[in-house]
Amino acid sequence: MEKYLTTEEVAAVARTVPSTVRYWRHLGKGPKGIKLGKRVLYPESAVAAWLASKDDQAKASA
């Protein structure tokens, strides 16, 4: 079963603040989230894939 992370948990993983994660979501640049009621949750696999893509981009530009 997939584990889901809150915005605050994603922010902790990305070492940023929750408002930045919300902004990334607004721009379509962050991990894919799903809305359940009033909350946005992020599948852990989507967060891991998003972080891996950012790592790949950093390596490509170095």
Q: 19-53 pLDDT, tens per residue?
A: 999 999 999 999 999 999 999 999 999 999 999 99
pTM score of the predicted model: 0.84
| Whether the predicted pLDDT of 58 surpasses 70 | no
Residues 30 and 24 sit within 8 Å (Cβ to Cβ) = yes
- Which of 59, 35, 30 lies closest to 47, judged by CA? 30
Tens digits of per-residue pLDDT, 3-21? 999 999 999 999 999 999 9
Distance CA 29, CA 21 (A): 9
Q: Under CATH, which architecture does the 4-61 domain have?
A: Orthogonal Bundle (1.10)
Distance CA 13, CA 6 (A): 11
- pLDDT for 62 equals 63
For residue 20, what are its two tokens?
Answer: 């930045």
Q: Sketch the domain layout of the chain as residue ranges.
A: 4-61
Distance CA 18, CA 14 (A): 10
